[in-house]
Structure 1
Amino acid sequence: MKNTAITALYFLPLAFSLVYYLLRRTVNNRTNSLVLRDAIADKLTEPASLHPIINPDKCVGCGSCVHACPENQVLGLIKGKSQLINPSHCIGHGCCKEACPMNAIELVFGSATRGVDIPHLASNFETNVPGIFIAGELGGMGLIKNAIAQGKQAVEAIKRKLNGQLQTDYDLIIVGAGPAGIAASLAAKKDNLRYLVLEQESLGGTVSHYPRGKIVMTAPTELPIVGKMHFRETSKEQLMEFWKKIETEITLNIKYRERVKTVTPIATPGTGYRVISSKDQYTTTAILLAIGRRGTPRKLGVPGEELPKVVYRLDDPEQYQRKHVTVVGGGDSALEAALAISEQPGTTVTLSYRSDAFSRAKNKNRTRICAANDQNQLSILFNSNVKAIKESTIEIEQAGKLIKLKNDAVIISAGGILPTPFLKDIGIHVETKFGTS
């Protein structure tokens, strides 16, 4: 009897722990299954960029990848196996792959139904054209932390390739002054390289085009010369102020409003390249392309698109006070623009999107835009296409019906055209990825 009591004393806590574990696993399984079911029902199954594919034969259901992901409810365990339960919310951190002890995760671009154009790069970020490198968003890594890391690593690789000869104006020309370009310029300055940054617009790259007040997600990282960058979640304005302070205090060699037009090899093989911009021309031993994937804004190709009231990004929501505004697109930039303008006094905002769900937008933005629509702060037209833009109206087709709306301004957030022709002119190979690494 005494032995039975002792046995029970030891095994009861174990039994309770087991029951608790099984109940929790059952609840998580049910919750994750519902999230996945809703994503499929809402047609939100296409990840925006780099994302994981989990091999179920290797996955042991430890949940390390689930806990490592910085985003909420992107990965989840269903029937003891990890799955991408909220694909459209994945933004390519890649922490899941690093955390998996069984090497069951592969990071890929695109899917079987949606191809993504990615330049072919070596492990040191060099393209198939010797001396020309790519870092950041253009190479598929849009996260600020990843872009900064790639910018630094690319410069390290470029430094190793330099032979010390001064046959060109510069050792390195960096194209683009976004996070990757800024990090690269800091690394180049630290290593005493003769460098120049050419930026066709303004400091900050894609971040500079975000709507005012947009929250920018990043992660602590190390910047050459500057040191630790402590941001985790900050506003566009705070991040831009941080970049400008760096540029001023460290005196980076950046030329603005100067677009690169052509890149050609110098006559002597292996010497370097001649870069012709919209303002000047230069020779350089190496080139780092740190430009975004947005490229040239994608146009609608409809009558009236050339009118002055049509723009392709939101600069300042306040300029649209007391106006009738139409925003076109279904990605984060379109949703954020529509939300920002709808908060201005006296505005009437219509969001037109050609599909029936916001499959390319983050969950937070989808939730906010739907709530704004429910509260009549703006109007959403799914399955709609702009047919014509006129001086004071806009014509939108939906379900075979032509809708005419009052209109003072149009913001087209339909993404950009990847600078593939520019890359191909240089000779860089671009591959369309359909769910491959």
Structure 2
Amino acid sequence: MENLLEQIIIYGAVVIFLLGVVLVYIRKLRRESRIVEKKIQLAKEEGLHEPVSLHPVVDPNSCIQSGACVRACPEHDILGIRNGKATVINASQCVGHGACFHACPTQAISLFIGTEKRGVDLPHVNHTFETNVKGMFIAGEMGGMGLIRNAVEQGKQAVQNLSKGINSKSNMQFDLIIIGAGPAGISATLEAKRLKLKTLTLEQDTLGGTVYTFPRAKVVMTSPMDLPLFGKVKLYETSKPELLDLWNDVLKKNEIKINEKHKVNKIMRNEQGFCVECNNGEEYTSQRVLLAIGRRGTPRKLNVPGEDLPKVAYRLLEPELISDNKIIVVGGGDSAIESALLLADTNDVTLSYRKETFSRLKPKNREKLEEAIKSKSLDVILNSNVTAIDEEFVHLKIAGQEEVLTLANQLVYIFAGGELPTEFLRNAGIEITTKFGEAILKHA
């Protein structure tokens, strides 16, 4: 009888202990859910909850709350756990690296482009990266996937796919012409060399493409990449010079030349392939063409008087050489914020943004911006639009105010994004469609 009583007490204690553990766990989940709820509410108030481009979508029926997606994301507070399921918090800050997609053990996450209300223009590309124009391929940011690692992988895969149809007896000058020497273009060029394809790479600007225009101190990678003819590149906190030096070294070792300052005006289809016409009058023929020109295309302008003055620029190349100037930086994205912060170290900088809040900033940039505003090292004017630029001043119209604000000024940097080279693509015969909430990366 005593043994039975002891067993009952022991089992009872175990049950009470287990119930306590369960209650603590449930309370922990509820507390975490409330925290995520508050983050979602704040994101909505700051305009960060709605996606602007590529973003994760969670299938609640498949999610098992492993938290792998949250841990895998190198950004902060893009995803969180609410009521036992993964959920999106700051969709507009997603940069499309796909780490959450690959980390999910139950394949509950897909990457979508656009939303039901907000469409994103994308060229037609199939699973091999070929467009509707047979023999013409697209890789990298222009196809919808951002980040250097993704662009590098796409450039490599696109060349592997297009190489299968190369005719060794063709009388074309080249097997492949690659247009663009950014991450996708460089990777494609290296893979083409590995496959022994006769290749020509054309770049309208300089090696690195969009990466070259990043401010010098910008971190441009968040995860490793597999670079053809080199191998695994494990650079996480990487500056622009380090990455450009790496690319230059790999190209030099493999005796590859990038034809810089060669802007392509037109791509014409012929019986055996393509004729590519450059702005310097040169023409080249090729069996295949790979477009790796990114989505920015031509910098978007403000279309205001004085925008063509020499003091106006659309990229910041050497901020350390600029000092003791009164500068206006226009824009509200990461490039604008990073440039303004770099310039503010040695200049009098004013940041002008047309909206009421910053809605697309990486967490680190947001923190640095708040610190700069608090320390008064950077002046920020929201709800403002540049109306005119002249030799000595910049004129701003602030919402709700009748008078135009006039600021003394010596340099203007405009970061208003870029315009998808739609006309160039359509002239080449490529179909462009607007994607409204369509999955571009999902599990089979």
Provide TM-score, normalisation by structure 1. 0.95
Q: Tell me the alpha carbon deviations over residues 10-57 of structure 1, each in whole angstroms, 9 at most, x when there is no partner.
A: 435533432332122122111111111111111122334311122334
Q: Which amino acid aligns with 1:402?
A: V
Alignment equivalent of 1:324, drawn from 314, 323, 326: 326
| Residue 121 of structure 1: aligned partner | 125
CA distance in 1, matches of 2:80, 2:211: 30
CA distance in 1, matches of 2:227, 2:107: 30
Whether 1:231 aligns to 2:232 is no
Q: Which amino acid aligns with 2:202?
A: L
SS of the counterpart of 2:80? strand
Q: What is the number of equivalent residue pairs in this alignment?
A: 432
Q: Which amino acid aligns with 1:387?
A: T
SS of the counterpart of 2:28? helix
SS of the counterpart of 2:206? coil
Q: Which amino acid aligns with 2:292?
A: A
CA distance in 1, matches of 2:11, 2:131: 67
SS of the counterpart of 2:265? strand
SS of the counterpart of 2:406? strand
Q: Tell me the alpha carbon deviations over residues 204-259 of structure 1, each in whole angstroms, 9 at most, x when there is no partner.
A: 11111111111122322222211121112211121111111112221213100000
> 1:143 Cα deviation (Å)?
1.0
CA distance in 2, matches of 1:313, 1:129: 33
| Residue 272 of structure 1: aligned partner | 273
Whether 1:135 aligns to 2:139 is yes
Summarize the alignment of residues 305-316 of structure 1 with structure 2, pairs less than 5 Å apart. Answer: 305-316=307-318
Summarize the alignment of residues 148-227 of structure 1 with structure 2, pairs less than 5 Å apart. Answer: 148-227=152-231
SS of the counterpart of 1:25? helix
With over 3 angstroms needed to count, the CA separation of the structure-2 counterparts of 1:204 and 1:134, relative to structure 1, is same
CA distance in 1, matches of 2:413, 2:117: 28
| Residue 248 of structure 1: aligned partner | 252
SS of the counterpart of 1:133? strand
Q: Is the 8 A contact 1:47 1:360 kept in 2?
A: no
| Residue 437 of structure 2: aligned partner | 435
SS of the counterpart of 2:53? coil
Provide TM-score, normalisation by structure 2. 0.93
With over 3 angstroms needed to count, the CA separation of the structure-2 counterparts of 1:12 and 1:164, relative to structure 1, is farther
> 1:132 Cα deviation (Å)?
0.3
Identity level (%): 46
Q: Is the 8 A contact 1:172 1:285 kept in 2?
A: yes
CA distance in 2, matches of 1:404, 1:193: 57
CA distance in 2, matches of 1:46, 1:210: 26
> 1:101 Cα deviation (Å)?
4.4
Q: List alignment gaps of at least 5 residues for structure 1.
A: none
| Residue 381 of structure 1: aligned partner | 381
Q: List alignment gaps of at least 5 residues for structure 2.
A: 440-444
Q: Is the 8 A contact 2:148 2:220 kept in 1?
A: no
> 1:278 Cα deviation (Å)?
1.9
Please report the RMSD computed on the Cα atoms of aligned residues, expressed in angstroms: 1.6
| Residue 370 of structure 1: aligned partner | 370
| Residue 419 of structure 1: aligned partner | 421
SS of the counterpart of 1:256? coil
CA distance in 1, matches of 2:224, 2:139: 19
With over 3 angstroms needed to count, the CA separation of the structure-2 counterparts of 1:212 and 1:99, relative to structure 1, is closer
CA distance in 2, matches of 1:224, 1:212: 25
Structure 1 residue runs of 4 or more that deviate by more than 6 Å after TM superposition: none
> 1:75 Cα deviation (Å)?
0.6
| Residue 147 of structure 1: aligned partner | 151
Whether 1:338 aligns to 2:340 is yes
CA distance in 1, matches of 2:31, 2:354: 37
